[in-house]
Structure formats: C-alpha cells, structure tokens
C-alpha cells in the first residue's frame, strides 16, 4: 500500500500527458457493448494487448494493461477461475485484465477490484503467489477481489463501520466459501485453505486501494474460516451476507444466540459447533499455527 501510494503521486504528475496518448485506446474498449466485450476477452486472450503506458492512478505510470499473463497456461487458469467464481454466484464474468510493468516489475504487486465491473491483477503478485504458494493462492486472491464485485452489485455489506473492515472481512469470507464449494475450488480440507490464506495475507496489498483498517490478522482468519464453514450450504450473495454477519457480529460482540437466525435456522445447528472456535481464532487464543491445523 505504501509503495502503491508513492506511485499514485508519480502517476498523477504524468497523468495529463499520458491520458491524451491513451484516449483512442480507451474509447475503443468502452465503445464495445457490454456483452461483446465480455465474450471477446475470453475468446481472444492476447490479441487485445494494449501498448498504452497509463493504466490509471492506482498503478505505476509505466504500467501496461494486458489481456493475458506471461504464459498461456497461467492466463487460462485465471480466466477459468474467473468464470467459476462468477458462475458460483450466478453471474457472468467481470472484466479481468492483467497489469505488467517491464521497467518496474514490483510495482504490479497488487490486485484491484473496481466498482465499474473490472478486476486488474498485477503480474508481480500473480508470479509471487504462484511461486510461493501455488495456484490456490491466486484463486483465493481472485475470489476475494470478486467478493468486492458482489458488494458493488448487491450493495453489500449490510453491516457498516467507519472503516473498510466489514468489506474486507466479508471478501475474505467470500473467498473461503468459494474454495470449499463443490462447484467452486472444491477443497474440503481446511488446512490447505488456511495455509493459502496465510500466504495471501502475508504478501499484503491485494486489498483494494483503501488505506482503511482491514481487520486484524486474527479477525481475518476468523472471517475466512467462517466463509469456509458456510460453504457447507448453497447460499446466494445476500444470504451469504446475512449469515456471515449474523455469526461474525455474534462472535465479535459476544452476542451470538441473543437473537435468532431467522433466515436459516437449520444453519444454526451446524454453526453452533464452531462458534467458540471462531471466537478463539478472533481473539488469538487459537494461534496462526493452530489455525493451519483446523479440520
Ligand atoms: Zn479487499
């Protein structure tokens, strides 16, 4: 985030100059009808690669927007994950693009979800995640970013705080949910998810552009664990939100079982086994190492 912010300032200084050079390129893309651009990006990876040297103010001024990663297998993996994640929630794909910066590779260590229906994913964060944690880490980061798309689309989260914490914790929950679902990443072992999550979190700022509080690491562990547990059930986005915050707020405030889960009483029986565990994750009584051993 700090690194990114520095580049913001740099990009701002050059923006006026760069924008005029990019204008034709940008109009070309926005002139396409929504559906047409959606299918074009899946069927023609690589062909629409842009040479424009200005992405937007959140990326380095020398960054380049591309439709693919360095190799086709990686591009295919990410595009297929994008389709799986979106269709799990009954949606068509958002626009997934990749950001490269050959002259300053590390500046692309970020992934951003935009309210305009786009996810921009940096080359550097993709490469590091894959090298150190395998495919599951990139799948998790992408599912987290798509969680923000769900929030834009459905006006979530329903819980508001003065910081980005509910948004970020819920996005972590959406990712945990996706990784478990049989029609998602289909991982039934939480240990693998926990390890991927620890890595995803440790590599840092894939978390939008907000400088706000994202929740403490124990709170975020608790959120991804809760999302994974809710993956036992087939939920739509609004229903996920309801259940996520029903249990999360209860865990956070110690008010669980004060009210009734009126929407899904049957989930209560299942979740009641885990409430104390979620609380202990959140308070740090269950350590990071113990977290990785959870079933
Ligand atoms: Zn985020």
pLDDT for 19: 36
Q: Tell me how far the alpha carbon of residue 141 lies from the centroid of ligand 1, in angstroms.
A: 9
Distance, CA of 264 to CA of 125 (rounded, Å): 38
Q: Tell me how far the alpha carbon of residue 206 lies from the centroid of ligand 1, in angstroms.
A: 7
Whether 139 contacts 185, CB under 8 Å: yes
Q: Tell me how far the alpha carbon of residue 170 lies from the centroid of ligand 1, in angstroms.
A: 9
pLDDT bin (cut points 50, 70, 90) of residue 172 is very high
Angstrom CA distances, 142 to 110, 137, 231, 267, stand at: 11, 9, 17, 27
Q: Tell me how far the alpha carbon of residue 147 lies from the centroid of ligand 1, in angstroms.
A: 8
Q: Tell me how far the alpha carbon of residue 17 lies from the centroid of ligand 1, in angstroms.
A: 30
Neighbours of ion ligand 1 (CB under 5 A): 168, 171, 207-208
Distance, CA of 64 to CA of 101 (rounded, Å): 6
Which sign, positive or negative, has the C-alpha torsion 240, 244, 245, 250?
A: positive
Q: Tell me how far the alpha carbon of residue 246 lies from the centroid of ligand 1, in angstroms.
A: 20
206 DSSP assignment: -
Q: Tell me how far the alpha carbon of residue 210 lies from the centroid of ligand 1, in angstroms.
A: 8
pLDDT for 176: 96
Q: Tell me how far the alpha carbon of residue 20 lies from the centroid of ligand 1, in angstroms.
A: 31
Distance, CA of 102 to CA of 41 (rounded, Å): 22
Least confident stretch, 47-51, 145-149, 264-268: 47-51
**Residue in 22, 31, 105 with CA at minimum distance from that of residue 56:** 22
What is the tens place of the pLDDT at every residue in 42-75?
333 333 444 456 899 999 999 999 999 999 999 9
Q: Tell me how far the alpha carbon of residue 285 lies from the centroid of ligand 1, in angstroms.
A: 25
Residues 6+ apart with CB under 8 A from 87: 183
Q: Tell me how far the alpha carbon of residue 214 lies from the centroid of ligand 1, in angstroms.
A: 8
Q: Tell me how far the alpha carbon of residue 24 lies from the centroid of ligand 1, in angstroms.
A: 31
Q: Tell me how far the alpha carbon of residue 184 lies from the centroid of ligand 1, in angstroms.
A: 19
Least confident stretch, 21-25, 98-102, 111-115: 21-25
**Cis preceding-peptide flag for 119 (omega within 30 of 0):** no
What is the tens place of the pLDDT at every residue in 218-253?
888 999 999 999 999 999 999 999 999 999 887 777
Q: Is the pLDDT of residue 12 over 90?
A: no
Distance, CA of 292 to CA of 289 (rounded, Å): 5
Q: Tell me how far the alpha carbon of residue 269 lies from the centroid of ligand 1, in angstroms.
A: 30
């Amino acid at each position: 985030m700090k690194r990114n912010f520095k580049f913001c300032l740099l990009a701002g200084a050059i923006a006026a100059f760069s924008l005029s050079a990019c204008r034709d390129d940008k109009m070309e893309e926005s002139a396409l009808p929504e559906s047409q651009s959606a299918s074009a990006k899946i069927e023609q990876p690589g062909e629409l690669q842009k040479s424009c040297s200005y992405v937007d103010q959140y990326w380095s001024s020398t960054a380049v927007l591309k439709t693919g990663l360095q190799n086709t297998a990686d591009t295919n993996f990410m595009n297929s994950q994008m389709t799986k994640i979106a269709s799990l929630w009954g949606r068509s794909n958002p626009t997934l693009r990749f950001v490269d910066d050959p002259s300053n590779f590390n500046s692309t260590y970020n992934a951003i979800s935009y309210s305009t229906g786009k996810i921009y994913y940096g080359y550097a964060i993709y490469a590091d995640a894959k090298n150190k944690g395998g495919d599951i880490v990139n799948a998790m980061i992408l599912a987290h970013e798509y969680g923000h798309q769900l929030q834009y689309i459905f006006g979530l989260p329903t819980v508001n705080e003065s910081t980005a914490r509910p948004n970020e914790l819920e996005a972590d929950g959406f990712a945990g949910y996706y990784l478990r679902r049989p029609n998602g990443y289909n991982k039934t072992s939480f240990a693998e998810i926990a390890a991927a999550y620890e890595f995803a979190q440790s590599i840092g700022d894939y978390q939008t552009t907000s400088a706000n509080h994202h929740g403490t690491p124990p709170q975020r562990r608790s959120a991804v664990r809760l999302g994974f547990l809710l993956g036992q059930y087939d939920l739509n986005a609004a229903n996920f939100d309801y259940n996520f915050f029903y249990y999360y707020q209860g865990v956070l405030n110690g008010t669980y079982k004060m009210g009734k889960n009126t929407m899904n009483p049957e989930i209560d029986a299942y979740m009641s086994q885990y409430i104390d565990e979620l609380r202990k994750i959140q308070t740090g009584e269950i350590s990071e190492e113990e977290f990785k051993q959870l079933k």
